[in-house]
Structure 1
Amino acid sequence: MCHSLVTLLVLTATVGVAEVAAAALLEARPALVRTVTGAGGPGSWTYYADGLEIAAAAVLGLALLGTILVPALSRVLSRPLRPNTVYPLYGVRFTLQRAVARLTNTRFTIALFGDSSAIVHYLRALGYRLAPIEQTGTNFGTMLKHEVPALSRVGAGTMVSDGLSMANAEYSSTSFRTAPVTIGSHNYLGNNIVYPAGGRTGDNCLLATKAMIPVSGPVRENTGLLGSPPIEIPRSVERDHRFGHLTTGSGLRRRLTAKNHHNAWTMALFLAVRCLYVYGLLLIAMFPLTGNGGLYWLETVGTALLELAFTVGFFVLAERAVLGFRTLRPRFCSIYERSFWRHERYWKVPSILYLSLFNGTPFKPAVWRLLGVRMGHRVFDDGCRILERTLTQAGDGCALNAGSILQAHSLEEGVFKSDRITIGIGCTIGTSAFVHYGVVIDDHARIDADSFLMKGEHVPAHTQWRGNPAVELTTDADCRSKL
Structure 2
Amino acid sequence: PGTYPRGGGVHLRLWAAERLAEHSGAASLTGTWLQRYARALGTKVGPDVDLHSLPPVTGLLKLGRGCAVESEVDLSGHWLDGDRLQIGAVKVGAGAVVGTRSVLFPGSRVGKRAEIAPGSAVRGHVPTGQSWAGSPAVKLGKAKRDLPKERPPRARHWRAMYGATGLALSLLPVLAAGPALLVVRAFVPADAGLGAAVRGALFALAPATVAFGLTYAAAVLVCVRLLGLGLRTGTFPSHGRVGWQAWTVTQLMDLSRQTLFPLYAGLVTPVWMRLLGMRVGRDAEVSTVLALPSLTTVGDGAFLADDTLTAPYELGGGWVRIGRAEIGRRAFLGNSGMTALGRSVPDDGLVGVLSATPKKAKQGSSYLGLPPVRLPRAACDADRSRTYAPPARLRWARALVELCRIVPVFCSAALVVGVVAALCAAAEHGLWLAFLLSGVVLLAAGLLGCALSVAAKWLLVGRHRPGEHPLWCGYVWRGELVDTFVEMLAVPWLAGAVPGTPVLHAWLRGLGARIGRGVWCESYWLPETDLVTLGDAATVNRGCVLQTHLFHDRILRTDTVILREGATLGPGGIVLPGSELGAKATLGPASLVMAGESVPAGTRWLGNPIEAWRP
TM-score bracket relative to the smaller structure: 0.7 to 0.9
* Aligned ranges 1:336-415 → 2 under 5 Å: 336-351=472-487, 352-354=490-492, 355-383=495-523, 385-415=525-555
2-structure distance, mates of 1:199, 1:378? 45
2-structure distance, mates of 1:457, 1:87? 45
* Aligned ranges 1:57-76 → 2 under 5 Å: 57-76=207-226
The corresponding residue for 1:48 is: 198
Change (3 A) 1:384 1:437: same
1-structure distance, mates of 2:500, 2:314? 33
The corresponding residue for 2:100 is: none
1-structure distance, mates of 2:441, 2:395? 38
SS of the equivalent of 2:589 reads coil
Asked if structure 1 preserves the Cα contact closer than 8 Å seen for 2:306 and 2:334, the reply is yes
Q: Which amino acid in 2 is paired with 1:462?
A: G
Deviations 1:210-254 (A, max 9, x none): 122223xx44322111222222122435xx324346447xxx442
SS of the equivalent of 1:385 reads coil
Change (3 A) 1:170 1:161: same
2:248 equivalent among 83, 92, 99: 99
The corresponding residue for 1:23 is: none
2-structure distance, mates of 1:292, 1:346? 38
2-structure distance, mates of 1:243, 1:170? 41
Asked if structure 2 preserves the Cα contact closer than 8 Å seen for 1:395 and 1:426, the reply is yes
Q: Which amino acid in 2 is paired with 1:221?
A: Q
Asked if structure 2 preserves the Cα contact closer than 8 Å seen for 1:442 and 1:461, the reply is yes
| Superposition deviation, residue 10 in structure 1 | 6.5
Q: Which amino acid in 2 is paired with 1:180?
A: R
1-structure distance, mates of 2:212, 2:247? 21
Q: Which amino acid in 1 is paired with 2:160?
A: L
| Superposition deviation, residue 274 in structure 1 | 1.3
Q: Which amino acid in 1 is paired with 2:572?
A: S
TM-score scaled by structure 2? 0.66
What do you get for the CA RMSD once the two structures are aligned? 3.2
Change (3 A) 1:440 1:374: same
Question: Does the alignment pair 1:467 with 2:607?
Answer: yes
Q: Which amino acid in 1 is paired with 2:486?
A: P
The corresponding residue for 2:323 is: 179
* Aligned ranges 1:18-417 → 2 under 5 Å: 36=188, 41-42=193-194, 44=195, 46-84=196-234, 86-105=235-254, 106-108=256-258, 111-130=261-280, 133-135=281-283, 139-141=285-287, 143-146=288-291, 148-199=292-343, 201-215=345-359, 218-237=360-379, 240-244=380-384, 246-247=386-387, 252-254=389-391, 257-287=392-422, 288-291=424-427, 295-297=430-432, 299-324=434-459, 326-351=462-487, 352-354=490-492, 355-383=495-523, 385-417=525-557
Asked if structure 2 preserves the Cα contact closer than 8 Å seen for 1:110 and 1:119, the reply is no
* Segment drifting more, 376-385 vs 448-457: 376-385
Asked if structure 1 preserves the Cα contact closer than 8 Å seen for 2:398 and 2:472, the reply is no
* Segment drifting more, 259-268 vs 162-171: 259-268
The corresponding residue for 1:457 is: 597
Q: Which amino acid in 2 is paired with 1:184?
A: G
Q: Which amino acid in 1 is paired with 2:566?
A: G
Deviations 1:81-138 (A, max 9, x none): 2221x322233433333322222331256532323222111111111112xx3316xx
Q: Which amino acid in 1 is paired with 2:226?
A: V
Asked if structure 1 preserves the Cα contact closer than 8 Å seen for 2:427 and 2:433, the reply is no
Change (3 A) 1:58 1:470: farther
Structure 1 stretches lacking a partner, 5+ long? 20-31, 476-483
2-structure distance, mates of 1:47, 1:5? 42
2-structure distance, mates of 1:150, 1:234? 33
TM-score scaled by structure 1? 0.82
The corresponding residue for 1:24 is: none
Asked if structure 2 preserves the Cα contact closer than 8 Å seen for 1:168 and 1:196, the reply is yes
1:3 equivalent among 154, 158, 164: 158
Change (3 A) 1:13 1:67: closer
1-structure distance, mates of 2:167, 2:383? 56
1-structure distance, mates of 2:303, 2:164? 42
The corresponding residue for 2:96 is: none
After superposing on structure 2, the runs of 4+ consecutive aligned residues of structure 1 that deviate more than 6 Å are: 10-19
Q: Which amino acid in 1 is paired with 2:498?
A: F
1-structure distance, mates of 2:443, 2:188? 24
SS of the equivalent of 1:413 reads helix
| Superposition deviation, residue 67 in structure 1 | 4.2
Asked if structure 1 preserves the Cα contact closer than 8 Å seen for 2:269 and 2:286, the reply is yes
2-structure distance, mates of 1:8, 1:68? 23
Asked if structure 1 preserves the Cα contact closer than 8 Å seen for 2:575 and 2:594, the reply is yes
Aligned residues: 444
| Superposition deviation, residue 16 in structure 1 | 11
| Superposition deviation, residue 447 in structure 1 | 1.6
2-structure distance, mates of 1:82, 1:301? 53
Higher helix share: 1
Change (3 A) 1:155 1:39: same
Structure 2 stretches lacking a partner, 5+ long? 1-155, 175-183
